[in-house]
């Protein structure tokens, strides 16, 4: 079996608000020192798969810089290795990928060039650890044309997934993409597929004539099931989560801090590889108090950090308090500042005495993004500067690069649910 893995990494991840304003969702930092895509890339190499194509599209620069030549994952190889696959213009080609399966269709030449007989299609925006070898063995033993990795989800969440029905042999007999009723079962599509390479090429070519926005869940899987192809479901019982919303990202980050965290980052048998930069060890000052937190290299903590994740190079000044927050790289938190239930992107400056995530109005949604910020979490975009002594409420969105000028209309207090920068409620006509 000659396997090539294709990682779909071009998603905009719009539900993550400003965290994906300047980067693709798979490039969003997670657990301090990692990027989301590190988990899928590490699963590949830990499973012995060293021919990997990464399909990029939306805001790819950060992702491309992170992956580089693939050395951290032992993918800097003359044969196989990692290759970044961009959309391109050519005869009978589109400028952009229009769907998940269309992205693969536009790279069938790459699959052929690797002489692969089996194609492993993966999502680059999920947090999980999975050995793909049993999945590939299952696919081969069943003589399948397509194998879909599935997991059981709560009945009330089935509307978020593609739901499969199988017979006793595990063969898929029906597929329902995000059903609105709860009578279709609980076997959810994880976005992990194993295809027979010849069948994949044939089906994509056939379906692409009917659907320019060709998608695996909406078009390919239903057509293959209805057309009599051998489609099987492979059950997975390990840890898997889609951190596609602000609430899910924050909750998954907080779960890492539990003594019996479901996602173990310290398993030496299954290392999550990433690109690391040379920084000194974390340093705790004489006044520092740290409880149940992840503190990355290069951090200097002179204040109080409780149940939080601090990315590389974060500085916490004396008297500052950080609670239940995710603070990304090179953020500076001034003396006496208080952060509570906040996600802070890279390079942010929090002025002395500022209070970010203040008040009890957890249920007041953000006025501009009510579907994204509605659980009490305040989000601060990259390179923003929060002035000293400002009080920022719950579900507030501070846009990237916002500074004194953007905060000025609010005075000393930014109410819960407001947006700072861009067209905020305080300055809108």
- Residue among 246, 270, 234 at smallest CA distance from 148: 234
Same domain membership, residue 16 and residue 160: yes
- Tens digits of residue pLDDT in 209-229: 899 899 999 999 999 999 999
pLDDT of residue 160: 87
Helix (H, G, I), strand (E, B) or coil at 397: strand
226: three-class secondary structure by DSSP: helix
Pair 348, 230 in one domain:
no
119 & 161 share domain: yes
Which of 255, 271, 293 is the last residue before a domain boundary?
A: 255
User: What are the pLDDT digits (tens) for 235-247?
Assistant: 999 999 999 999 9
Q: Which two tokens stand for residue 409?
A: 């209309």
| 425, pLDDT greater than 80 | no
Same domain, 173 and 72: yes
Q: Quote the tokens at residue 416.
A: 């819960």
Determine the average pLDDT of the residues in 16-24. Answer: 94
Q: How confident is the model at residue 429 (pLDDT cuts 50, 70, 90)?
A: very low
Report residue 222 CA to chain centroid gap.
26
- What's the pLDDT score for residue 90? 61
Model confidence pLDDT, tens digit, residues 360-403: 999 999 999 999 999 999 999 999 999 999 999 999 999 999 99
Regarding whether 245 and 294 lie in a shared domain, the answer is no
Whether residue 79 is found in the same domain as residue 142: yes
Which position has the token pair 């020192």?
Answer: 33
User: Residue 6: enclosing H or E segment and its boundaries?
Assistant: strand 3-8
> 147 and 287: one domain?
no
Contact of 30 with 244, CB cutoff 8 Å: no
Check whether residue 65 and residue 27 sit in a common domain.
yes
Q: Which of 238, 255, 272 is the last residue of a domain?
A: 255
The reported pLDDT for the residue numbered 426 is 37
Q: Is residue 276 part of a domain?
A: no
CA distance 205 to 288: 61
Answer yes or no: is pLDDT of 6 > 70. yes
Whole-Å CA distances, 269 to 20, 43, 255? 32, 12, 21
Write out pLDDT tens, residues 317-361.
999 999 999 999 999 999 999 999 999 999 999 999 999 999 999
Q: Are residues 249 and 328 in the same domain?
A: no
C-beta of residue 420 within 8 angstroms of C-beta of residue 414: yes
- Do residue 210 and residue 302 come from a single domain? no
**Percent of the chain having pLDDT more than 90?**
88
- pLDDT above 70 coverage of the chain, percent: 97
The residue count for the chain: 429
Sorting pLDDT into bands at 50, 70 and 90, what band is 12?
Answer: confident
**Is residue 278 in some structural domain?**
no
Contact indicator for 414, 393 with CB cutoff of 8 Å: yes
Handedness of CA 391, 402, 65, 113 (dihedral sign): positive
Q: What is the pLDDT of residue 428?
A: 33
What's the rounded Cα separation, in Å, for the pair 101 and 218? 10
Residue 263 lies in a domain: no
**Does a structural domain hold residue 261?**
no
pLDDT of 96 reads: 83
Question: What is the chain's mean pLDDT, rounded?
Answer: 94
87 confidence band (pLDDT: 50, 70, 90): confident
- Asked, for residue 428, whether it belongs to a domain, the answer is no
Q: Distance between CA atoms of 278 and 284, rounded to whole angstroms?
A: 19
Q: Is residue 74 part of a domain?
A: yes
Residue 79 lies in a domain: yes
Q: What CATH number should be reported for the domain holding residue 376? A: 2.160.10.10
Q: Which residues of 14-53 are buried (b: 16+ CB within 10 A; e: fewer)?
A: ebbbbbbbbbbbbbbbbbbbbbbbbbbbbbbbbbebbbbb
Q: How do strand 118-123 and strand 187-196 relate by DSSP bridges?
A: antiparallel
What confidence score (pLDDT) does residue 150 get? 97
Name the pLDDT band for 94 (thresholds 50, 70, 90). Answer: low
The answer, yes or no, to whether residue 205 has pLDDT greater than 80, is yes
**218: which DSSP letter?**
I
Number of domains in the chain: 2
Give dist(CA 148, CA 130) in Å, integer.
14
106-140 pLDDT, tens digit each: 999 999 999 999 999 999 999 999 999 999 999 99
Range of the domain at 378: 283-420
Q: pLDDT value at position 27? A: 96
Residue 89 is predicted with a pLDDT of 63
Predicted pLDDT of residue 13: 84
Kindly state whether residue 358 falls inside one of the protein's structural domains: yes
CA-closest candidate to residue 273, choices 11, 66, 60: 66
* Band of residue 279 on the pLDDT scale cut at 50, 70, 90: very high
What is the rounded CA–CA span in Å between residue 117 and residue 213? 25
Contact residues for 291 (Cβ-Cβ < 8 A; gap 6+): 305, 306, 307
| 324 and 384 part of one domain | yes
> Residue range 35-58: average pLDDT?
97
Work out the average pLDDT over 255-279: 94
Inform me whether the pLDDT recorded for 427 exceeds 70.
Answer: no
Cβ contacts of 416 within 8 Å, gap of 6 or more: 359, 361, 364, 393, 394, 395, 396
Residues 309 and 188 in one domain: no
**Contact in structure between 289 and 55 (CB atoms under 8 Å):** no
CATH of the domain at 241: 3.90.550.10
Q: Are 150 and 34 in contact (CB under 8 A)?
A: no
CB of 283 closer than 8 Å to CB of 270: no
Q: Of 86 and 251, which is predicted with more confidence?
A: 251
C-beta of residue 216 within 8 angstroms of C-beta of residue 100:
yes
């Amino acid at each position: 079996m000659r396997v090539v893995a294709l990682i779909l990494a071009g998603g905009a991840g719009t539900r993550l608000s400003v965290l994906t304003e300047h980067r693709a969702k798979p490039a969003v930092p997670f657990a301090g020192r990692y990027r989301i895509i590190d988990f899928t890339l590490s699963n590949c190499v830990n499973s012995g798969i060293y021919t990997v194509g990464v399909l990029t599209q939306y805001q790819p620069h950060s992702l491309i810089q992170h992956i580089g030549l693939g050395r951290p994952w032992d993918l800097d190889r003359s044969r196989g290795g990692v290759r970044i696959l961009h959309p391109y213009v050519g005869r009978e080609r589109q400028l952009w990928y229009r769907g998940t399966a269309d992205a693969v269709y536009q790279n069938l030449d790459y699959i052929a060039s690797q002489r692969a007989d089996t194609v492993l299609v993966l999502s680059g925006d999920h947090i999980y650890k999975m050995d793909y070898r049993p999945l590939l063995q299952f696919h081969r033993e069943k003589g399948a044309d397509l194998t879909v990795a599935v997991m059981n989800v709560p009945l009330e969440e089935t509307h978020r997934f593609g739901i499969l029905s199988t017979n006793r042999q595990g063969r898929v007999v029906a597929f329902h993409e995000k059903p609105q009723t709860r009578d279709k079962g609980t076997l959810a599509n994880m976005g992990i597929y194993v295809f027979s390479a010849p069948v994949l090429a044939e089906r994509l070519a056939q379906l692409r004539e009917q659907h320019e926005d060709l998608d695996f869940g909406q078009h390919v899987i239903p057509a293959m099931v209805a057309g009599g192809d051998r489609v099987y479901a492979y059950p997975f019982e390990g840890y898997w989560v889609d951190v596609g919303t602000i609430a899910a990202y924050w909750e998954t980050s907080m779960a890492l801090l539990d003594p019996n965290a479901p996602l173990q980052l310290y398993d030496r048998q299954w290392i999550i590889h990433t690109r690391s930069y040379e920084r000194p060890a974390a340093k705790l000052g004489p006044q520092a108090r740290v409880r149940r937190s992840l503190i990355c290299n290069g951090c200097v903590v002179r204040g109080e950090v409780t149940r939080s994740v601090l990315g590389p190079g974060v500085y916490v000044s004396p008297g500052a308090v950080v609670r239940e927050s995710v603070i990304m790289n090179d953020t500076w938190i001034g003396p006496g500042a208080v952060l509570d239930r906040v996600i802070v992107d890279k390079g942010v400056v929090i002025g002395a005495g500022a209070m970010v995530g203040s008040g009890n109005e957890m249920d007041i949604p953000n006025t501009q993004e009510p579907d994204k910020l509605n659980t009490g979490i305040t989000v601060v975009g990259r390179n923003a500067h929060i002035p000293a002594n400002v009080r920022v409420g719950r579900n507030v969105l501070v846009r990237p690069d916002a500074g004194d000028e953007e905060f000025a209309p609010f005075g000393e207090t930014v109410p819960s649910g407001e947006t700072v920068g861009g067209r905020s409620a305080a300055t809108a006509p």
